[in-house]
Amino acid sequence: MAANNKRPLPQGERFFTPGATGLRKAVEQRSSVPMTYLFTQVPRWVPPVLLVVLMLAGFAVTNPLGGAAALVVLAFVAWLAYLSWPSLRVGAKVLRVAMMTFLVLLAATRFGLI
């Protein structure tokens, strides 16, 4: 008999933002499949390790390849920030904006724009 290695979905009241319309509703609905896959099918250690490797590549590689690695991290951070934005406090919002600003500047230096 095969063992079931799938993790259960996280507990919570709602997966989607209550009363969301327009762009937020579309992004949340389109994000539900990758989020479910990421949190149930991929081992827990893979996303953080992959992000750390990409971030280190962004720091270490001083050509456009490093910029591309930083952009991947930026896309992931921005995606999670957008999804969690309605439930965040001011301090958490400031930290996310600071992180995204740092990643944009890192990528810009690697592409030679700054």
Asked if residue 35 belongs to a domain, the reply is: no
| Residue 73, domain member (yes or no) | yes
Domain assignment present for residue 15? The answer is no
How far from 79 is each of 18, 28, 64, 114, CA to CA, in Å?
A: 18, 10, 22, 25
Band (110; pLDDT cuts 50, 70, 90) = very high
Higher pLDDT residue, 46 or 17? 46
Q: What is the reported pLDDT for 4? A: 59
* Any domain includes 31: no
Does residue 106 sit within a domain?
Answer: yes
* Inside any domain, residue 85: yes
Domain membership flag for residue 11: no
- In the structure encoding, which two tokens stand for residue 30, read together? 């389109």
The better pLDDT of the pair 35, 9 is held by 35
pLDDT of residue 1: 47
> Integer distance in angstroms from the first to the last C-alpha of the chain?
58
Residue 13 has pLDDT above 60, yes or no: no
Tokens 């997966």 belong to residue: 15
pLDDT for residue 21 is more than 80: no
Q: Is residue 13 part of a domain?
A: no
Q: Indicate the number of domains in the chain.
A: 1
Which one has a higher pLDDT value, 15 or 101? 101
Distance separating alpha carbons of residues 97 and 100, to the nearest angstrom: 5
Give me the domain span that covers residue 91: 45-111
Environment class of 55 (CB within 10 Å of its CB; exposed 0-12, middle 13-18, buried 19+): middle
